[in-house]
Amino acid sequence: MSAQENAVRMEELTSLERLGLRVSAMINSPLAQLDRRVLVHRMDTDTDHDWESIMELLAETDGLDMTFCDDGSVFLKWDAPTDDDRVIDRGEEVARVETEEEEAPF
């Protein structure tokens, strides 16, 4: 896909989708995944409705702690996966452990 086609596709996204992608990218960044925390800043272009929608979605996510800062940003923190989060399938010759990737909830 060319840069121009990519720019056209970005214009097709709603403001809520753009915000969701931005927050998702911040959560899934290598540093955030390593530290299991991230500070999400609200931009001037984020509407109240979009920001509240994303915050509601994040609030519904199990294992995610949210701390709202005075400047409008939100500090997200989550725990490392536990053994309860892993599925062991002993039906195969070799026991296999599957862990879910910690990804954004949207």
pLDDT along the chain (106 residues), means of 10: 65 92 96 96 95 96 95 93 63 48 60
pLDDT score, position 81: 75
Note whether residue 88 is domain-resident: yes
Q: What is the pTM of this model?
A: 0.66
Note whether residue 78 is domain-resident: yes
Closest C-alpha among 42, 43, 44 to residue 55: 42
pLDDT score, position 2: 72
Burial 6-35 (b: 16+ CB within 10 A, else e): eeeeeeeeeebebbbeebeebbeeeebeee
pLDDT score, position 7: 61
pLDDT score, position 16: 96
Note whether residue 106 is domain-resident: no
Residue 27 contacts by C-beta under 8 Å, 6 or more apart in sequence? Answer: 38, 40, 76, 102, 103, 104
Domain count, the chain: 1
Question: One-letter amino acid identity for 10?
Answer: M
Note whether residue 7 is domain-resident: yes
pLDDT score, position 91: 54
pLDDT score, position 63: 93
pLDDT score, position 94: 44
Print the domain residue range for 63: 3-98
The β-bridge partners of 98 are: 87
Note whether residue 104 is domain-resident: no
Note whether residue 89 is domain-resident: yes
Angle of the 15-27 helix axis to the 48-59 helix axis, nearest 10: 40
